[in-house]
Amino acid sequence: MTKRACSSSKMKKSVSEQLEESASLALRVAREEADTICRMAELVIESYRHNGALLICGNGGSAADAQHLAGEMVGRFLKEREPLRCIALTTDTSVLTAIGNDYGYEEIFARQVLAHGREGDVLLAISTSGNSPNVLRAVEGARLLRMKVIALSGKGGGRLARAADLCVTVPSDISPRIQEVHETVGHILCSLVEQSLFER
């Protein structure tokens, strides 16, 4: 089957601009946040070495990122290896709706953190704005348990950047671009964890 050229120069220009914008943001994060990403990975690795767990939360696209990353940790990323304890706090509709109905939407992650989290575990909090109330409440819950908190944010970082032990803030106000970099950082975390724990 032959490839047809895009008939709209305006559409082709939009494709190029969006890809270049996403790539530019990723390169900027590589320059400015590589050390932070390494330190985040070290916290997760240390937790796993002491039989800890990684808990992840976020809303909307960030919820999908949480589930994606949990799938890589529990299943595999690039290596055949033992499963790693990782829970996306976005997946159990019965739990989410029960907590939302009885305690309010702001509590849907915090109550799960208190149920599943332990001292020495790590919470990965994801929010493109850095100001999602339920994500911030999850951080508060993690603090009560003396968990470490790492975060992915954007739009200046918001309150989340100040509340977390470590935060990668994507320098953009556009949610899709922020989420694209978040997913890349998530993959890098997976690779660093696997390399450290399972490299022979």
Note the pLDDT tens digit of each residue in 150-191: 999 999 999 999 999 999 999 999 999 999 999 999 999 999
Q: Where in the sequence is the domain holding 87, given as residue range(s)?
A: 51-198
**pLDDT tens, residue by residue, 30-72:** 999 999 999 999 999 999 999 999 999 999 999 999 999 999 9
How would residue 199 be classed by pLDDT, with cut points 50, 70 and 90?
A: confident
> What band does 9 get if pLDDT is binned at 50, 70 and 90?
confident
Report the number of distinct structural domains present in the chain: 1
Q: Which two tokens stand for residue 188?
A: 């890098």
Is residue 42 situated within a structural domain? Answer: no
Q: What is the pLDDT of residues 99-154, one digit of tens each?
A: 999 999 999 999 999 999 999 999 999 999 999 999 999 999 999 999 999 999 99
Q: Is residue 141 part of a domain?
A: yes
What are the angstrom distances between the C-alpha of 166 and each of 99, 157, 161, 181?
A: 28, 11, 7, 16
Inside any domain, residue 178: yes
Q: Is residue 31 part of a domain?
A: no
Question: Is residue 13, in this structure, part of any structural domain at all?
Answer: no
82 pLDDT higher than 80 = yes
Using CA atoms, how far apart are residues 58 and 135, in angstroms rounded to an integer? 6
How many Å apart are CA 133 and CA 107, to the nearest integer? Answer: 9
Q: Is 94 within the bounds of a domain?
A: yes
Tally Cβ neighbours within 10 Å of residue 71: 14
CATH of the domain at 104: 3.40.50.10490
User: What sign results for the dihedral spanned by CA atoms 77, 154, 138, 39?
Assistant: positive
Residue 35: inside a domain, yes or no? Answer: no
Q: Tell me, yes or no, whether 191 lies in a domain.
A: yes
Phi/psi for 140 (5° steps) reads -60, -40
